Chains A and B, each alone.
Chain A
Amino acid sequence: MSAAMDTESTYSGYSHYSGHSKKAHRQGRDRHKSPRSKDGSRSEKSVTIQTPPAEPLLGNDASRAEEGQDDNWGETTTAITGTSEHSISQEDIARISKDLEDSVGLDCKRYLGLTVAAVLGLLVFLTPIAFILLPQILWRDDLEPCGTVCEGLFISVAFKLLILLIGTWALFFRQPKADIPRVFVFRALLLVLIFLFVFSYWLFYGVRILDSKDTNYQGIVQYAVSLVDALLFIHYLAIVLLELRQLQPVFTVKVVRSTDGESRYYSLGHLSIQRAALVVLENYYKDFTVYNPALLTASKSRAAKHMAGLKVYNVDGPGNNASGQSRAMIAAAARRRDSSHNELYYEEADHERRVKKRRARLVVAVEEAFTHIKRLQAEEQQKAPGEMMDPREAAQAIFPSMARALQKYLRTTRQQQYHSMESILQHLSFCITNNMTPKAFLERYLNPGPTLQYDRDRWFSKQWTLVSEEAVTSGLQDGIVFVLKCLDFSLVVNVKKIPFIKLSEEFIDPKSHKFVLRLQSETSV
């Protein structure tokens, strides 16, 4: 089951992005992976959305509805709220197996969606050209000659179409992150709008121009130009709705890691919960220090000691008065005078002293090691051909002198599994190549860095689950809390609205800055 969980992504209704469609609007992008492939080249973040996607899924795409696709699988996903990751209910099992088959179905849907999008895009793009060419083909002899005006209009149509093409490419042809239903609603709306728009233009064209064989060619060309203008304006609308609206910050979210309380604040605009979760995760990998389970052992042992301190015996015979027992334990624990705080204080002070000592030794060792290396200038390189080394060899030469100090330091700060000898050597040669000082070399080891800095198999956090009481497609509101869980820890996200700021102005005349000297003088009389 865990294998399936690892590879599935239940972004329902999202089709994979491809770069060859000319359609003005994307149906959606996602990082969906088929269950059979698990390539490391793609990012391994897969966000499993386990709350029921609401109606936007059905309002997915007008063309999809036309195809008669079965969208019911979206409705039957159930929400995980309040179940722990260890309890798998029957619903979960059903859902997981359903998602497996859905993911296969999603592939077909995605490609289908892509082709439909491509067709629609092509149609929209070629419509103005068709409007201009059809009269020429069908009733050329009856057309009124239209000289320079028409040629000017041809040029303008050509350039506007070119601009539209470039704009569409810039806006929509992008490597997708995961798509979100809320934005998808906007896209669907825009899609429907475009479709209706072009359809009505064709209708009008067919009835008024084709049927009646209108001879005013200039009017026809101007009609085509108006279509292209309107398409450009729809493109502008697309930019505003899909891109600009989310840029202005409206909410501040606080993200707290459950295991050690590390927290960060981010500013977000009007996003859906899913998208906000994505933003938080993207920032998690670069802002939060890497999750290190070795650092939590101390508090765990303390907690274990607390629990083991008291034993409750039931002398009144059988009968499991659980709540009474726990109350008794809490009361007894409160009364007991324990000195564990003392232990903690001295232990921490001791640890800190040890870390500082080791750090000092490390810094000295590295500085000394770096003094043995000297970069040869170009002229000097000819003079001493025998002793020259490339960066890798230089690194290997000076590494032994600092290896022990470095390893001891890493052990004390419990980072030793994050750095292998090979990685240290690589980093050392990198620093030597780029003329870095010993301090620059050490900054990677002295303090734990963000998760991105380390090897992927040390991450502990590759697959995430979004747990939310609200529907994940609904927008952010003040006071919403959702949790991003991975296997070992979770990120609790708290959303707060940025307060309405009342700013007033006050003018102070620069000439009004006057001062008096306050003295205490003493005069003798």
Chain B
Amino acid sequence: SQYSGLFIFFFFQQRIEIHKLHQGENLILGFSIGGGIDQDPTQNPFSEDKTDKGIYVTRVTEGGPAEVAGLQIGDKIMQVNGWDMTMVTHDQARKRLTKRNEEVVRLLVTRQSLQKAVQQSMMS
């Protein structure tokens, strides 16, 4: 129906909860990020819009906490624990993800495949 389409519009996003893993002294999440407002957005292979300076997931380690939680390579991270990640520098993003006193990070991500799936379901 039309109204469900409107609701779906806002939910191109997915919430992912990652539990950090203790590895020696460090807490790791098991993925790598790229991007940031101080970086060159044209070199980002995952973004659709090459002026997008957001934070993207560039690698997900196999079997790591991120993969287990459902994070996929190419995801754009919109929020981390409520903090906005669309207009941060690369270093700020890293800091927000690696706070030592947090064991769980809740990410709000969006991905292109998700958009397409929703669009397809809208069509049908």
Contact = CB atoms under 8 A, between A and B. Distances in A.
8 contacts: A520-B40, A521-B90, A522-B59, A523-B32, A524-B31, A525-B29, A525-B32, A525-B94
Interface of A: 518-525
Contact of B33 (A518, A519, A522): A522
A519 B91 CA distance: 13
A519 B39 contact: yes
Identify which of A518, A519, A522, A524 gathers the most chain B CB atoms within 10 Å of its CB.
A524
Given A520-B34, A522-B32, A524-B28, 16 more contacts: A519-B39, A520-B35, A520-B40, A520-B43, A520-B44, A521-B34, A521-B90, A522-B33, A522-B34, A522-B58, A523-B32, A523-B33, A524-B61, A525-B28, A525-B31, A525-B33
Interface residues of B, number: 18
Interface of B: 28-29, 31-35, 39-40, 43-44, 58-59, 61, 90, 94, 97-98
Contacts, number: 37
B97 to A, nearest CB: 4
Given A518-B39, A518-B40, A523 B28 contact: no
Nearest to B32: A524
Contact of B98 (A518, A520, A521, A525): A525
- Lowest 7 A-B CB distances belong to which pairs? A518-B40, A520-B43, A524-B32, A525-B97, A522-B34, A525-B29, A523-B94
Nearest to B18: A525
B39 A524 contact: no
A525 to B, nearest CB: 4
Contacts of A518: 39-40
Contacts of A523: 32-34, 90, 94
Nearest to B31: A525
A521 B59 contact: no
Contacts of B31: 524-525
Contact of B40 (A519, A524, A525): A519
A523 B39 CA distance: 12
A494 to B, nearest CB: 48
A518 B36 CA distance: 11
Nearest to B93: A523
B34 to A, nearest CB: 5
Nearest to B35: A520
Contacts of A524: 28, 31-33, 59, 61
A524 B26 CA distance: 12
A490 B94 CA distance: 78
B73 to A, nearest CB: 12
A522 B40 CA distance: 12
Nearest to A518: B40
Contacts of B61: 524
A521 B32 CA distance: 10
A519 B39 CA distance: 5
A519 B35 CA distance: 9
Nearest to B98: A525
A86 B40 CA distance: 74
B51 to A, nearest CB: 13
Contacts of A519: 39-40
Nearest to B34: A522
A521 B37 CA distance: 12
A522 B31 CA distance: 10
Contacts of B44: 520
A515 to B, nearest CB: 13
Contacts of B59: 522, 524
Nearest to B96: A525
Nearest to A516: B38
A523 B38 CA distance: 14
Nearest to B44: A520
Contacts of B43: 520
A275 B39 CA distance: 65
Contacts of A520: 34-35, 39-40, 43-44
A519 B36 CA distance: 10
A295 to B, nearest CB: 54
A304 to B, nearest CB: 61
B82 to A, nearest CB: 17
A6 B61 CA distance: 96
Contacts of B90: 521, 523
B89 to A, nearest CB: 11
A519 B32 CA distance: 15
A521 B97 contact: no
A518 B41 CA distance: 9
A355 B108 CA distance: 74
A347 B22 CA distance: 81
Contacts of B97: 525
A521 B29 contact: no
A520 B34 CA distance: 7
A172 B68 CA distance: 101
A351 B57 CA distance: 64
Contacts of B39: 518-521
Identify which of A518, A520, A522 gathers the most chain B CB atoms within 10 Å of its CB.
A520
